[in-house]
Amino acid sequence: MGGIVLARDLAAAGLSVVLFEASDRLGGEVSRHVVAGIALDAGAESFATRGGTVAGFATELGLGDDIVLPDPRGAWLHEADGESFPIPRTGLLGIPGDPSAADVRAVVGEDGVRRALADADLPAEVGTEETTLGGLVRARMGEAVVDRLVSPIVSGVHSLHPDLLAVDRVAPGLRSALQREGSLAAAVLGLRALAPAGSAVAGIRGGLARLVDPIVADLERHGVDVRLGTRVRSIDETSVETAGGEHVRARRVVLAVGDHDAVALTTRASSVPPGAITLATLVVDRPELDAAPRGTGVLVAPGSTGLRAKALTHATVKWSWLAELAGGRHVLRLSFDSPVVDRGTPDVEVRDAALADASTLLGVDLAERHLVGFGRATWDAPRRAEAAAVTEPVVEVVQAGGAVAGRGLAAIVAHSRRQAATLVAALSSPPSRD
């Protein structure tokens, strides 16, 4: 998605753009598939509202009136011991803004609350040297908050344990807010107060994949040379070589790919196949789900016995437009990490795992006889933090997309547009006489 956003802005500024895409379609993980006759998102289905970046961009694309908010009931946590709880309301990535709140106490227990409350008495500098989210929260609030709150939420959102995620990347401003406010709980409340009122996420009526079509139309209107099915073999700052042997020279090369391809094209590191995230979509006819037993979905704590899914979204509860479209049927999205479910896992095994896990997580028996449709999409998993640290680039090019911006459409769109503005300014300036 980052590549087409950046290409659109460059072309709109009057620059000549050639866009190479290895697959047969544009948009990356912002894509759709049809399950039981319903057009559904096959990847991302919502965006963070912070900064208004995606909402503003969608408005530019003519989709501003179709921005919708999710059902306010919220999601639940399924803990490793099998218990389920509503996600506490005053948190940030699971970090509680009020550790003494009843909904926090229900999840972490009395001992967990006592340890989390110690955060208020610790010197402000404790934990600020920690570089990972897990390390920071553990230093300030203890193990129970990490294991029972932060880990299931962060693993569900970012597909990595909080001990493997750079805090400044997934929670920018948190460490500085801690030093400013004096405690992690106060820092969380301060950052939440700075956020706009309303839901932290939003979607597009008809699905997030609707963003791609007007971008592609703009690429065509501005004369962008789009080459689908063209894999790039090598790059440098001003040239591209395709797998077919074509050499293309340019004033500047921009790389907008995922983590795995970015490493392969910009470093000398050996190519390690990326892990997989599998999204299984179930369309079921089961009136017992009308009561929304787990709100908009469930995030699963790592190590939960008998479960393979890391998260479930009850999409027809979360999005009212989809409930209307589904006509009484229910759409459930379950995500699985490799190697639990991998690219080679047969569809029937993925389907059966999704039905079994959905039954457990929702507390409603779901069998093959209730299934109206099944769909599957597989995406590359993000790289682990320690792997990224040892693969310094040897090819210096401008980069965009998830490999550098982080996960989430808001981060990718904002970063791509900043990169485009910087490039336009640089390429529009007269050459230096030095």
One-character DSSP codes across 38-79: EEEESS---EE-GGGHHHHHHHHTT-GGGEEPPPTT--EEE-
pLDDT at position 159 is 78
CATH 3.90.660.20 in the chain, residue ranges: 276-380
Look up residue 217 and give its two tokens.
């139309």
Stretches where the chain sits below pLDDT 50 are 385-391
Place of tokens 């506490």: 88
Burial of residue 419, with CB atoms counted within 10 A of its CB: 0-12 exposed, 13-18 middle, 19 or more buried: buried
Closest CA to 141 of 130, 312, 22: 130
Q: What pLDDT score does 302 carry?
A: 86
Contact 208, 46 (CB under 8 A): yes
- Chain segment 228-285, per-residue pLDDT in tens: 999 999 988 899 999 999 999 999 999 988 767 777 777 655 556 778 899 999 999 9
CA–CA separation, 365 and 288 (whole Å): 9
Q: Could you name the CATH architecture of 2-70+202-273+385-428?
A: 3-Layer(bba) Sandwich (3.50)
With the CA atoms of 375, 260, 243 and 420 taken in that order, what torsion angle do they form, in degrees rounded to the nearest 10?
100
Contacts of 178 (CB under 8 A, 6+ apart): 124, 127, 128, 136, 140, 184, 187
CATH 1.10.3110.10-classified regions of the chain: 89-194
User: Which residues have a Cβ under 8 Å from the Cβ of 398 and sit 6 or more positions away?
Assistant: 252, 253, 254, 255, 419, 423
Residues of the chain with CATH 3.50.50.60: 2-70+202-273+385-428
Domain 89-194 has CATH 1.10.287.110: no
The whole-model pTM stands at 0.89
Q: Is 273 left (phi over 0), alpha (psi -120 to 50) or beta?
A: beta
What's residue 391's pLDDT?
A: 45
H/E stretch holding 255? strand 254-256
Give me the pLDDT at residue 387, please. Answer: 41
Q: Tokens representing 300? A: 């699963």
Q: Are 326 and 206 in contact (CB under 8 A)?
A: no
What are the distances in angstroms from CA 10 to CA 7, 388, 402? 5, 29, 19
> CA-to-CA distance for 113 and 226, rounded, in angstroms?
55
Nearest residue to 300 via CA among 154, 195, 99? 154
User: 317-324 — which CB contacts under 8 Å span 24+ positions?
Assistant: 317/71, 317/73, 317/292, 318/70, 318/71, 319/45, 319/68, 319/70, 319/71, 319/203, 320/68, 320/71, 321/68, 321/205, 321/206, 322/38, 322/40
Q: Residue 330: in which H helix or E strand, if any?
A: strand 330-337
How far is the CA of 3 from the CAs of 25, 229, 257, 371, in angstroms? Answer: 12, 15, 8, 37
User: By the 8 A CB rule, do 191 and 177 touch?
Assistant: yes
**pLDDT in the model for residue 373:** 98
pLDDT of residue 151: 93
Q: Give Cα 307 to chain centroid, integer Å.
A: 22
Please tell me the CATH code under which domain 276-380 is placed.
Answer: 3.90.660.20
CA angle 269/272/275 to nearest 5° reads: 140
Which spans in 288-364 are helix H?
315-318, 320-326, 347-362
Q: Which of 104, 159, 87 is nearest to 408 (CA)?
A: 159
Residue 300 in contact with residue 156, Cβ under 8 Å? yes
**Which pairing describes strands 311-314 and 330-337: parallel, antiparallel, or unpaired?**
antiparallel
Find out whether 230 and 244 touch, Cβ atoms under 8 Å.
yes
* pLDDT score, position 384: 55
